[in-house]
Structure 1
Amino acid sequence: MRIVRNTHIGARLRGPAGVVLAWAVTRAVLMLFVFRAVPFPGQFVLNDVHDVYQQWYPVLRSGSFPSEDVTWQYPPGAAAVLMAPVVLPFLSYVNAFFVLALLTDAAVTVMLLVYGRGRARPAAGAWVWVVGVTVAGPVVFARYDVMVTAVGMLALLELRRRPRVAGLLAGVGTMLKVWPLLVLTGTPRGRPTRRAWSWGVGTAAVVGVAFAVAMPGAFSFLTFQRDRGTEVESLGAMVFHVARHLGWHGQPAMHYGSVEFLGRHVHMVSWAALALSVLALCWLVVWRLRARTFSDATPYDAAFTALLVFTTTSRVISPQYMVWLIGIGAVCRMMPGSVLRLPVRLTLVATFFTTLEFPVFFSHVAASDKWGVLLLTIRNGLLVAASVIACRRLWASTVHSPVLQPLQRRARGAGETPPSLITTR
């Protein structure tokens, strides 16, 4: 009887009740860091809200964008999020922003639990989110990426049932931070694709035009994004971290809002990173043209793969970018038949090492010493490995459909409903 009771308690803790308990405990700890009741180790991570967002706030409220500030590198829809603390007038701007970020985090957790109902493992996606945000640390609440991620996740969750709604949400997300349009990468062929993409592109265009008419400088961010270089945490930066030990005389410095390498050959490496992103785009187009077998999980696997490869090849891999991957990975993990469980797990581990390299040991990263280079090598190596595995598994599960047979057998063995197949000719 005691064994049965303990098993029952363990099952409850692994389910929604355990998610809620874990969320409450971990977020209480994170809020202690965010509100500075307890110092978080390493470099201070809340500067953006204190020194950047708060300075932009009066400019945005006046009806214009901070188009003379090179650190303004966001699509025009970001203005709505950065002005959102006005809904809590009884708090300071900084505290209101943190509260809104926490409420968004709570809403995402509830959303994952609601959409997970009726599945074999209803809390699987929520656990990925709760654990991922925990290991990402207080940076999650010190950037507006958690709000953008919530919009992208909801778009992906609505993709199969209501492609028009998914497209609308993806379009709104695109005007917040561009990447949410990637959630439409794996839309089922035919009418769902036409509806989702037409609504996505149309919504982004309407929102963009509206901001351009209403507020001067809506698209000034494009110039500042174009001129960015190679950030010290990116994959391309590994070349210069090693080169500094071999006599290269470049240095890291604050440039366009982040710490980037400045010196000889940086421009060339930045272009190489852009070329890798273009190759990633070409691979996704080829995959889309060659894919023949779409399961229920394919749209979610494709969205996570697309976001993962573009994040990995980017000239900039800021810590908050991991929030995007955690969110889309959580949705992907909810789906029975997903072939990307390992890449999602690798992303969670990469998030932990991201927190170590920034902010905990960022001084070592900026100095390119052995400890800093080791941390970056592990983190970026995990992202590369996750990208390669995700691409191979997505290709194998859709272009070479026989691979789905053992996946279906594993799904049955795990007590999950095997994915239905849609074959296009």
Structure 2
Amino acid sequence: MKTTARPPVWLLVTWGATRLLLLLFVFKVWVFPGPDVTSDVSVIYQGWFEVLRTGSFPLDDVTWQYPPAAALAILSPGLLPFLDYAHAFFCLAFLADLAAFALLGRAGRRPGRSMRGAWVWVVGVPLLGPTVYARYDVMVTAVAVAALLAGARHPRVMGALIGLGAMLKVWPALLLVGVRRWSVWLAALVSVSGLAALFAVSMPGAFAFLTFQRDRGTEVESLGSLVFHVARHHGWDGQVLLNYGSVEFVGPYVGLVSTAALFLTGMAFGWLLLWRLAATRFGTRTAADAAFVAVLMFTVTSRVISPQYMVWLIGLAAVCVCLRGSRMGLPAVLVLAASGLTLLEFPIWFSHVVQSDTLGVCLLVARNGLLVVATLVAARVLWKETAPRDTPARLPGQASRTRESSVPS
């Protein structure tokens, strides 16, 4: 009993110490180096809050690029009227972090599970620094973690949570990639349809975000941005500007690189479709592993890799390694390493990234390189475990028994 009791105690101590540090930074008791990452909450989010509370989406603000249920996250600090907006938001982000930690800790103590998932979350989140509490992505990630962990016992709950997550920030829809039970898909569809109809009827401009998102360029931290970071040293005459809410490259050939990124995203979708058609073995780990691979692929190929995107990967990696026998350990470690480098490139040395100097470019090459390697390794593991090269033909009865023994996911 003593040996099984120790890990949770150390887990709690580590979580408490690291989260206290994050709160001290976002509450500005201590000042974190680099630009102020909390300004997005006190300026942008609070500005949206004032518009949303009138019953309309911020239609004149191109930085609003989120699905309609994101309004729930932005309005949520109103639940704590005794705090100012920013402080209330930080407290709610902290609670979302706590919820994900509690879910992973509880899951890790069940048969066939491991506490490694909780450790990945405990270690990974503070590697992103105060940014993680100054964006609503940690709330979305908590919903995604809950969805994946609910899949085995409560498939309809899983589907409903995936639908909610997709309406908060789109990417949780990728959790359906490795799901075979129609009950999960149906619950997700009902959830999305219900929320979409509710917001479309009650608040004008619910889907204006689609236009704003379409017009984004190549952000300075993305994989494609490396082309322009290098090109600036060889006569390229473009600029780095704040555009559509992020720091992007603007100038010759930016549109071409952005189109190439979309093409790579299309290729990623094609690979996932091919994998789904070829996969023959779906087990307890398949849904989490497939979700991790899908989000890695779409993050790496995106025109934008904002620092807060890393919390998505940390959450999914944590769920993967929470399942005993998972072979996603190496990709999870690579994601943790990439998260540490992300903290260095933003906010600590973001000025070097913007200037495209040697330090900034090296940080981006290392961080994005780790993400590319993690994606390739994770995709290879998923394929080998679920789509073996030589799969013997199965009798109808055998196929039926296989389906019955598989956990949805």
TM-score over 0.5 (shorter chain): yes
1:136 pairs with 2:136: no
Runs ≥4 in structure 1, deviation > 4 angstroms? 420-423
Residue 317 of structure 2 is matched in structure 1 by: 329
TM-score of the two chains, using structure 1 as the length reference: 0.90
1:253 aligned counterpart, secondary structure: strand
What is the alpha-carbon distance in structure 1 between the residues aligned to residue 301 and residue 37 of structure 2? 24
Residue 214 of structure 1 is matched in structure 2 by: 202
What is the alpha-carbon distance in structure 1 between the residues aligned to residue 56 and residue 376 of structure 2? 42
Alignment partner for residue 376 of structure 2, among 388, 402, 407? 388
1:82 pairs with 2:70: no
1:45-194 equivalence runs, <5 A: 45-119=37-111, 122-187=114-179, 189=180, 192=181, 194=182
1:293 aligned counterpart, secondary structure: coil
What is the alpha-carbon distance in structure 1 between the residues aligned to residue 142 and residue 27 of structure 2? 23
What is the alpha-carbon distance in structure 2 between the residues aligned to residue 313 and residue 88 of structure 1? 38
Residue type of the partner of 1:234?
S
Residue 219 of structure 2 is matched in structure 1 by: 231
What is the alpha-carbon distance in structure 2 between the residues aligned to residue 184 and residue 160 of structure 1? 14
Residue type of the partner of 1:283?
W
Contact 1:65 1:215 survives alignment (8 Å)? yes
What is the alpha-carbon distance in structure 2 between the residues aligned to residue 216 and residue 97 of structure 1? 25
Offset at residue 158 of structure 1 (A): 1.3
Residue type of the partner of 1:337?
G
Residue type of the partner of 2:19?
R
Contact 2:239 2:250 survives alignment (8 Å)? yes
2:143 aligned counterpart, secondary structure: helix
Deviates more, 1:388-397 or 1:257-266: 388-397
Residue 263 of structure 1 is matched in structure 2 by: 251
Contact 2:107 2:113 survives alignment (8 Å)? no
What is the alpha-carbon distance in structure 2 between the residues aligned to residue 227 and residue 109 of structure 1? 36
What is the alpha-carbon distance in structure 1 between the residues aligned to residue 214 and residue 346 of structure 2? 24
1:290 pairs with 2:290: no
Residue 308 of structure 1 is matched in structure 2 by: 296
What is the alpha-carbon distance in structure 1 between the residues aligned to residue 71 and residue 27 of structure 2? 24
Offset at residue 118 of structure 1 (A): 2.5
Distance 1:151 1:121, change over 3 A: closer
Contact 1:298 1:338 survives alignment (8 Å)? no
What is the alpha-carbon distance in structure 2 between the residues aligned to residue 200 and residue 12 of structure 1? 37
1:269-418 equivalence runs, <5 A: 269-400=257-388
1:259 aligned counterpart, secondary structure: strand
Offset at residue 134 of structure 1 (A): 1.1
What is the alpha-carbon distance in structure 2 between the residues aligned to residue 118 and residue 256 of structure 1? 45
Offset at residue 421 of structure 1 (A): 7.2
Offset at residue 330 of structure 1 (A): 0.6
What is the alpha-carbon distance in structure 2 between the residues aligned to residue 217 and residue 101 of structure 1? 26
Offset at residue 108 of structure 1 (A): 1.2
Residue type of the partner of 1:87?
L
Residue type of the partner of 1:123?
M
Offset at residue 123 of structure 1 (A): 2.0
Unmatched 5+ residue regions in structure 2? 392-403
What is the alpha-carbon distance in structure 1 between the residues aligned to residue 156 and residue 23 of structure 2? 37
What is the alpha-carbon distance in structure 2 between the residues aligned to residue 81 and residue 421 of structure 1? 38
What is the alpha-carbon distance in structure 2 between the residues aligned to residue 199 and residue 120 of structure 1? 27
Q: What do residues 156-183 of structure 1 show as CA deviations (whole Å, max 9, x unaligned)? A: 1112222211111100111100011111
Alignment partner for residue 200 of structure 1, among 188, 191, 200? 188
Offset at residue 12 of structure 1 (A): 4.8
Unmatched 5+ residue regions in structure 1? 1-7, 404-419
Offset at residue 337 of structure 1 (A): 2.1
Q: RMSD over aligned Cα, in angstroms? A: 1.8
